A and B are shown apart, each in its own frame.
Chain A
Amino acid sequence: MIGSGVSAMTANQTESATQQIKQFALDAGADVVGIADPRAWDEHAPEGHRPYDILPGAQSVVVVGSRGPTAGAWRSPKHRVMEVNGYDFRNDAASHRVADMIESQFDHHAIQSPALPTGGHLPPISMMLAAVLAGLGTRSLAANIILNPKYGLLYYSACITTLECDHDGMLEQDVCPHHMCVESFRRFGKTPCMAACPSDEGGCLDGSIDEEGRIETSYYDRERCVSRAMNFGINSFQKALAQIVAEEDEERQHSMIHSDFFSRSCSAITHYKESVAQCFECMRVCPIGRAERKLQ
Chain B
Amino acid sequence: MTAQKNIDFASAKSELVAIAGKSGALVSGVAAADAFGDVPEGYRPDDILPHAKSVFVIGGAQPRAGDWQSPNYQHMEVTTTSDRMQTLALKMAHIIEDRFSYYAVCVPPGVDRGQQPFMSISMAADLAGCGSRSLAGPVLHPEYGFMYYGAVITTMPLPGDKPFDPPACPAPECVEMYAAQGTTPCLATCPAKAGGCLGGRIEDGRFADRQYDAERCATRVQNYWVPGFQHVLGATLREPDADKQKMMLFSSMFSRTLWSMTYSNVSQGQCAECMRVCPVGREHRTKK
Residues of A within 8 A of B (CB): 67, 70-73, 75-78, 80-81, 84-85, 88, 244-245, 250, 253-254, 257-258, 260, 262-264, 266-267, 269-274, 295-296
Contact = CB atoms under 8 A, between A and B. Distances in A.
The list of the 4 closest CB pairs from A to B, nearest first, reads A271-B263, A72-B105, A72-B103, A84-B108
A262 B230 contact: yes
A67 B261 contact: no
Interface string B78-105: 0000010011001101100100011111
A267 B226 contact: yes
Interface residues of B, number: 42
Interface string B147-188: 000000111100000000000000000000000000000000
A78 B118 contact: yes
A72 B49 contact: yes
Given A76-B49, A78-B118, A267-B110, A295 B230 contact: no
A295 B86 contact: no
Nearest to A83: B108
A267 B97 CA distance: 28
Contacts of A88: 87, 90-91
A199 to B, nearest CB: 30
B71 interface: no
A267 B261 CA distance: 8
A250 B238 CA distance: 7
B113 interface: yes
A254 B111 CA distance: 21
Contacts of A254: 234
A273 B234 CA distance: 26
B106 interface: yes
Nearest to A241: B233
A72 B154 contact: yes
> Of residues B108, B110, B112, which shows the largest number of chain A Cβ atoms within 10 Å of its Cβ?
B108
B196 to A, nearest CB: 24
A78 B111 CA distance: 13
21 contacts: A70-B105, A72-B97, A72-B105, A73-B105, A73-B106, A75-B50, A77-B47, A81-B108, A84-B110, A85-B90, A264-B113, A266-B229, A267-B110, A267-B226, A270-B225, A270-B262, A271-B263, A272-B109, A273-B90, A296-B102, A296-B156
A84 B48 CA distance: 13
A260 B110 CA distance: 13
Given A70-B90, A71-B97, A295-B102, 4 more contacts: A76-B105, A80-B113, A270-B261, A270-B262
Contact of A70 (B103, B234, B238, B261): B103
B242 interface: no
Contacts of B48: 76, 78, 81
A21 B190 CA distance: 54
Contact of B237 (A67, A71, A253): A253
Contacts of A253: 234, 237-238
A273 B93 CA distance: 15
Contact of A271 (B83, B104, B105): B83
Contacts of A80: 108, 112-113, 118
Interface in B113-162: 113-115, 118, 153-156
Contact of B230 (A245, A266, A271): A266
Contacts of A257: 230, 233-234, 237
A288 B224 CA distance: 44
A263 B110 contact: no
Contact of B103 (A71, A269, A274): A71
Given A85-B105, A266-B226, A260 B113 contact: yes
Nearest to B263: A271
Contacts of B229: 266
Contacts of A273: 86, 90, 108-110
Contacts of B108: 80-81, 84-85, 273
A72 B104 contact: yes
Contacts of A269: 261-262
Contacts of A85: 90, 105-106, 108
A75 B49 contact: yes
A296 B101 contact: yes
A194 B275 CA distance: 54
Contacts of B113: 80, 260, 264
B181 to A, nearest CB: 40
A273 B233 CA distance: 24
A62 B106 CA distance: 29
A274 to B, nearest CB: 8
Contacts of B109: 84, 272-273
A266 B261 contact: yes
Contacts of B94: 67, 70
Contacts of B261: 266, 269-270
Contacts of B86: 273
B98 to A, nearest CB: 9
Given A72-B49, A72-B97, A266-B229, A81 B102 contact: no
> Of residues A73, A264, A269, which shows the largest number of chain B Cβ atoms within 10 Å of its Cβ?
A73
B263 to A, nearest CB: 4
> Of residues B113, B156, B229, B233, which shows the largest number of chain A Cβ atoms within 10 Å of its Cβ?
B233
